[in-house]
Structure 1
Amino acid sequence: MKKYVLFICLLFLVGCGFQRDNDTPAKLSFYYWRTNFQLDSLERSTLKELDVERLYIRYFDIGLQGDTPIPIRPVLFKDSIPNVDVVPVVYIKNEVLLNSKIDRGLAKKIIDYINQINKYNHITSNEIQLDCDWSLKSKEPFFQLIEDIKKESNWKVSSTIRLHQVKYAGKTGIPKVDYGVLMYYNMGTIASDSLNSIYDRNIGTKYIGALKEYPLELKYAFPIYSWLVHTRDNKVVRLISRVRADEVEKNTAFKKIADIRYEVVTEGVYFGQLFLVGDQIKVETTTTAQLLEMKKDLEKASGKCPSEIILYDLNSRNIPYYEKEVWKKIVVCE
């Protein structure tokens, strides 16, 4: 009898530990990843219709000038902020962390610069998110930067998490942040092949088996962007952001040769770039069905529902390409 009661208690604890209330949908948020902050009518109405409460806005990158870490391409607010919480996101290049002359005052400089931007634009923030694909060599400096920011501010600190940092957490380490954001995209190599480098279910599922054991709370970031991969002689020439398949298909200079691949049949300048006859392009993005697929796979692998799903990124060239119902469906815990 005692064994039976103990078994029931264990089941109860496991259920409570791995399942959020199914009646409580996840919060839906967006990343904003442009240098100029300026929302059009569709972007503003989307935030309102979806009851978005939080925007993760890329404020600036940190790169090197000589041996000095400096902010690169800071955001310029040309528009008023809607009624949402703003989370500044700072992208940290690995070269900064690997520089032996890195200034231990970097945390304070980052905080001060964010405060300057916020003060000038009348923004209040109580959190910072660090975006860094840290390596085995750069993890200690990155983790130290997190600790320094905590000491220098009273902000919450979150961090983006890549798939390999979940699967190989024992080696890559786990940052001591309030929560992580699993970036469930950019899964493959950008190449001239027929694969989709933004999202590949087969690749994704190979990395998420360790989610149940990952000790850090994870929110999920899903891709709703697109880009065009321009190749010549099987070599990647460039990426052109925010190009969709329908834009390519209505242009007679391109002939469809496979599901997401096209060949250039007429030389010319398209999408602001020169294309030669024989060049090939691949239009990569995700579909409504794939977004729901991601949600299902992650819930199954983790055994729980996320508190928040963040879409990358808020842009009127992304939003119309998805059925409106998908925004409601991806936040419902099944």
Structure 2
Amino acid sequence: MKKWLLLLVLFIVFGCVKQPNDIATSFYYWKTNFTLKPSEKELMQNLDVKKLYIRYFDVALKGDVAIPLTAVVFNDTIPDVEIVPVVYIKNEVMLNAKLNLNDLADNVLRYIEQINNRYKIDIKEIQFDCDWSLKSKERYFSFIHFIKEKKELKISSTIRLHQVKHHRKTGIPDVDEGVLMYYNMGSIAPDSLNSIYDGSIARKYIGSLKTYPLKLNVALPIYSWLIHSRDGKVINLLSRIRREDLEKNAAFERKDKNRFLVKKAGTYFGKFFKQGDQMKIEQIEAEDLQQMVRDISDNIPDSPKEIIFYDLEEKNINSYEKEFFKKLVTDF
């Protein structure tokens, strides 16, 4: 009897202790010139990062021709991790019925191969990022089909929240894995809302994860940007600017936590600002990320194999405590 009682106590004790998960930590790299700073290399090593998702190029339209834009240039030694090319395809490309999707697949694969050959990169996976719509879904899915026919590689695709909730209408691409993009939830506007992450918006969609049939990994935001507006209209969106960049400049007057007024006209962050222009900082706090993890964990049916942070950049990663990323993934 005592033996069984002891076993029961041990079962209860160890059952209540959160066991370490085996979720991998990865990053997106979204700059045209690939150069890792010491702090970025250190974080990758500390987190035992084994995979880096690098934006290789965008695909856009010029007339009725699909063209690659701003291909990545590797100016640094490529780290000893798996490199996953990410190709961002503008929805306008998939909406153009004049494009031959089989030829487009050939061209995209050929361009990826040229980059890989130039920098001696071997790949196992390609990821496509396209915010397809009801009008473009069939063509996007056909494009994915042609890619899979031509290359025996793992193919993944980004998935937006609205595509999760309305998947019976928007469809599901025939890929090996999806990546839930848990950001860019609202409209870029001079108001007080955060377009990168808004918990009230997220909660309208996240329950749909419970019935979404595609296996998902999760991409979380650690980036920031400045929304520059004049007379109530947005005129610029400037990436990689954080609240502290504005707080230390006497030319800006703080109106509330995230909004500032230009007191002195001048060129700041590479753009001209008039006196009276408004600036809004959108960035993600540690508490936001913790809330995201709680919400996703409560709704996703299977734990993701991988958490991918967007994006690996010194200013982004230095905005959080050194051990924060490790703890966040462990808490998933």
Q: State the TM-score, normalizing by the size of structure 2.
A: 0.92
Residues 223 and 313, structure 1, Cα contact 8 Å, conserved in 2: yes
Q: Which has the higher contact order (CA 8 A, sep 6+)?
A: 1
Matches within 5 A, 1:230-245: 230-245=228-243
Cα distance in 1 for partners of 2:154, 2:329 equals: 24
Please report how far the alpha carbon of residue 325 of structure 1 lies from its aligned counterpart in structure 2 after TM superposition. 2.4
Residue type of the partner of 2:284?
Answer: T
Cα distance in 2 for partners of 1:197, 1:25 equals: 31
Unaligned segments of structure 1, at least 5 residues: 1-20
Residues 22 and 332, structure 1, Cα contact 8 Å, conserved in 2: no
> Residue in 2 aligned with 1:59?
56
> Residue in 2 aligned with 1:259?
257
> Residue in 2 aligned with 1:76?
73
> Residue in 2 aligned with 1:33?
30
Residues 61 and 92, structure 1, Cα contact 8 Å, conserved in 2: yes
Please report how far the alpha carbon of residue 281 of structure 1 lies from its aligned counterpart in structure 2 after TM superposition. 0.5
> Residue in 1 aligned with 2:39?
42
What do residues 3-28 of structure 1 show as CA deviations (whole Å, max 9, x unaligned)? Answer: xxxxxxxxxxxxxxxxxx94323111
Q: Which residue, 311, 315, 323 being the options, matches 1:325? A: 323
Residues 227 and 243, structure 1, Cα contact 8 Å, conserved in 2: yes
Residues 33 and 72, structure 2, Cα contact 8 Å, conserved in 1: yes
Residues 292 and 329, structure 1, Cα contact 8 Å, conserved in 2: no
Please report how far the alpha carbon of residue 237 of structure 1 lies from its aligned counterpart in structure 2 after TM superposition. 1.2
Please report how far the alpha carbon of residue 333 of structure 1 lies from its aligned counterpart in structure 2 after TM superposition. 4.6
> Residue in 2 aligned with 1:18?
none
> Residue in 2 aligned with 1:178?
176
Please report how far the alpha carbon of residue 33 of structure 1 lies from its aligned counterpart in structure 2 after TM superposition. 0.5
Residues 293 and 331, structure 2, Cα contact 8 Å, conserved in 1: no
> Residue in 2 aligned with 1:85?
82
Matches within 5 A, 1:7-18: none
Please report how far the alpha carbon of residue 265 of structure 1 lies from its aligned counterpart in structure 2 after TM superposition. 1.2
Please report how far the alpha carbon of residue 264 of structure 1 lies from its aligned counterpart in structure 2 after TM superposition. 1.1
What SS does structure 2 have at the residue aligned with 1:25? coil
> Residue in 2 aligned with 1:226?
224
Dislocated runs of 4+, deviation >4 Å: none
> Residue in 2 aligned with 1:192?
190
> Residue in 2 aligned with 1:131?
129
What do residues 195-215 of structure 1 show as CA deviations (whole Å, max 9, x unaligned)? Answer: 111111111111111101001
Identity over aligned pairs, percent: 54
> Residue in 2 aligned with 1:301?
299
Please report how far the alpha carbon of residue 41 of structure 1 lies from its aligned counterpart in structure 2 after TM superposition. 1.1
Q: What value does the CA root-mean-square deviation take over the aligned residues? A: 1.2
Residues 26 and 331, structure 1, Cα contact 8 Å, conserved in 2: yes
Residue type of the partner of 2:244?
Answer: D
Residue type of the partner of 2:191?
Answer: D
Q: State the TM-score, normalizing by the size of structure 1.
A: 0.92
Unaligned segments of structure 2, at least 5 residues: 1-17
Please report how far the alpha carbon of residue 169 of structure 1 lies from its aligned counterpart in structure 2 after TM superposition. 0.5
Residue type of the partner of 2:222?
Answer: I
Residues 24 and 305, structure 2, Cα contact 8 Å, conserved in 1: yes
Cα distance in 2 for partners of 1:319, 1:191 equals: 25
What do residues 33-61 of structure 1 show as CA deviations (whole Å, max 9, x unaligned)? Answer: 11111111111111111110000000011
What SS does structure 1 have at the residue aligned with 2:330? coil
Q: How many residues align?
A: 314
Cα distance in 1 for partners of 2:124, 2:22 equals: 24
Residue type of the partner of 1:228?
Answer: L
Please report how far the alpha carbon of residue 305 of structure 1 lies from its aligned counterpart in structure 2 after TM superposition. 2.2
Residues 61 and 72, structure 1, Cα contact 8 Å, conserved in 2: yes
What SS does structure 2 have at the residue aligned with 1:105? helix
What do residues 302-321 of structure 1 show as CA deviations (whole Å, max 9, x unaligned)? Answer: 24421111000011111100
What do residues 249-288 of structure 1 show as CA deviations (whole Å, max 9, x unaligned)? Answer: 1111111111111111111111111111211111100011
Residue type of the partner of 1:241?
Answer: S
What SS does structure 1 have at the residue aligned with 2:287? helix
What do residues 132-168 of structure 1 show as CA deviations (whole Å, max 9, x unaligned)? Answer: 0000010001001111011001111000000100010
Cα distance in 1 for partners of 2:49, 2:273 equals: 40
What do residues 165-208 of structure 1 show as CA deviations (whole Å, max 9, x unaligned)? Answer: 00101100011101100110111111110011111111111111
Matches within 5 A, 1:138-153: 138-153=136-151
Residue type of the partner of 2:98?
Answer: K
Distance 1:289 1:176, change over 3 A: same
Residue type of the partner of 2:253?
Answer: K
Cα distance in 1 for partners of 2:237, 2:28 equals: 20
Cα distance in 2 for partners of 1:120, 1:244 equals: 35
> Residue in 1 aligned with 2:93?
96
Which sits farther off after the overlay, 61-70 or 223-232? 61-70
Residues 62 and 90, structure 1, Cα contact 8 Å, conserved in 2: yes
> Residue in 1 aligned with 2:110?
112
